[in-house]
Amino acid sequence: MSVTKSFYGKMPDGKEVEMYSISNGKITLQLITLGATLQALYTPDKFGRLNDITVGFDSLYGHLNFTDYQGKTVGRYANRIAGGKMIIDGEEINLVKNEKDKTCLHSGGEFSSAIWQAEAVGENAVKFTHTSEDGTNGFKGNLTANVTYTLTDDDRVVIEYYAVCDKATAINFTNHTYFNLCGAASSNVLGHILQINSDEITPTDSDSIPTGEKRSVSGTAFDFREPHTVGERINDSDEQLVQCLGYDHNFCLNHHEGKADAVVYEPVSGRKLELYTDLPGVQLYTGNFLDGTVIGKGGMPLVKHAGLCLETQYYPDSPNHPDFPQCTFAAGEEYKSVTEFRISVVE
């Protein structure tokens, strides 16, 4: 196992962005300091051919001009906060409303657009650190976050999050990788077979804000308790799918001991990805707003459904829904979470 560091690019202000590569001899994981981003993940298919299975950009130009959070670490509060407002310890917090001037999405890029400090840890991990200052995009408190990516000998990518703030704040980090198990330059993920161990979703209004309801997946296009292709029901007339142009929803995870929270399998390549997390939810986002106008890795347009994201998280807008699992942390209280992707090939 080895970690190597190289130059990735230069920001408009001259700051350098570095890339770290970790290889276990079979799989290579590449990470960049802009956004503590999972830049690439090369894995073999059933014939031993290596492909990068993450959809995104080859260079900084794409990351800076066209990002839909490809590969990024998102925080301090991933997903949406209604009206950019939440109450913490009785105080109204007003956040940047970076989506339609209405909602706060992905904290306005608070952590995903930052250049993080990075250091190799041993021979198979990289730890990223960034402190966001009190007031950034409206959030209260200086918040220091660490994200550590580890590639194990047995082909697991483990992402560990740690954060602590000097004021009470909501903390909800995720990773926003778009996977395409056929390879980054392939068309779309509609033929991928997906399973999610979830009985309920949190349906949303037309601004993608949870209504507060927890709705059973039984008999709907959201029932992935048994495997289904992503494309099988994506165009159903279900109002939830119609308003989001596909899947863009939080699934409440059942968390059965020893069972993956989600599994993605792609039959042509034989690649399989199993997701394990300690967080209560996962946002399944099927790249619905990609429309082919932006060019991604290998010169391929990023078309609708080019990749799928499994963003592990607290439920969206949780500070405004006291019935949802809560993620407000007191000053000095530590936030810790682990998400793991297990990579394998089915012959």
Cα torsion angle, 336, 144, 8, 284, sign: positive
Is residue 148 near ligand BGC by the rule CB under 6 A? Answer: no
Binding piece for ligand BGC, criterion CB under 6 A, among 220-228, 252-260, 281-289, 339-347: 281-289
Return the residues of window 60-89 that contact ligand BGC according to CB under 6 A: 68-69, 79
- Helix H segments across 44-103? 60-65
Q: Is 311 in the site for ligand BGC (CB under 6 A)?
A: yes
Least spacing, CB of residue 106 vs ligand BGC, in Å = 6
Given 106, 176, 192, 321, which residue is catalytic? 176
Angstrom distance (rounded) from CA 226 to CA 219: 12
**Other Cβ atoms within 10 Å of 308 Cβ, number:** 25
Is 184 strand, coil or helix? coil
24, HSE (Cβ side, Cα atoms, 13 Å)? 18
Beta-strand runs (E) in 56-166? 73-74, 80-81, 85-88, 91-94, 104-105, 117-121, 125-132, 143-151, 156-165
Q: Please list, in sequence order, all residues whose beta carbon lies within 8 angstroms of the beta carbon of residue 18, skipping any fewer than 6 positions away.
A: 5, 6, 7, 8, 32, 33, 118
Cα(97)–Cα(77) distance, rounded to whole angstroms? 13
Q: For ligand BGC, which is the closer residue by CB, 266 or 311?
A: 311
The distance of closest approach from Cβ of residue 167 to ligand BGC in the complex, given in angstroms and rounded to an integer, is 26
Catalytic status, residue 311: yes
108 versus 141: smaller Cβ distance to ligand BGC:
108
Among the residue ranges 12-20, 58-66, 89-97, 282-290, the one whose residues contact ligand BGC (CB under 6 A)? 282-290
Distance in Å, CB of 283 to ligand BGC, minimum: 5
Classify the phi-psi angles of 36: left when phi > 0, otherwise alpha if psi is within -120 to 50, otherwise beta: left
Q: Is 266 in the site for ligand BGC (CB under 6 A)?
A: no
Which region, left, alpha or beta, applies to residue 42 given φ > 0 means left and ψ of -120 to 50 means alpha? beta
Stretch that binds ligand BGC, among 177-185, 195-203, 283-291, 330-338 (CB under 6 A): 283-291
* Residue closer to ligand BGC (CB basis): 168 or 245: 245
Nearest distance from residue 115's CB to ligand BGC, in Å?
Answer: 20
Query: Does the protein bind ligand BGC through residue 150 (CB under 6 A)?
Result: no
Nearer to ligand BGC, 101 or 154 (CB): 101
Q: Scan residues 231-260 and list those touching ligand BGC (CB under 6 A).
A: 248
Q: Which of 18, 274, 311, 340 is catalytic?
A: 311
Please say whether the beta carbons of 151 and 1 come within 8 A.
yes
Question: CB-based contacts of 207: which residues, under 8 Å, 6+ apart?
Answer: 80, 82, 99, 100, 102, 103
Binding to ligand BGC by residue 45, rule CB under 6 A? no
Hey, which residues are catalytic here?
A: 176, 311
Which residues make up the interface to ligand BGC (CB under 6 A)? 68-69, 79, 106, 208, 248, 283, 285, 289, 311
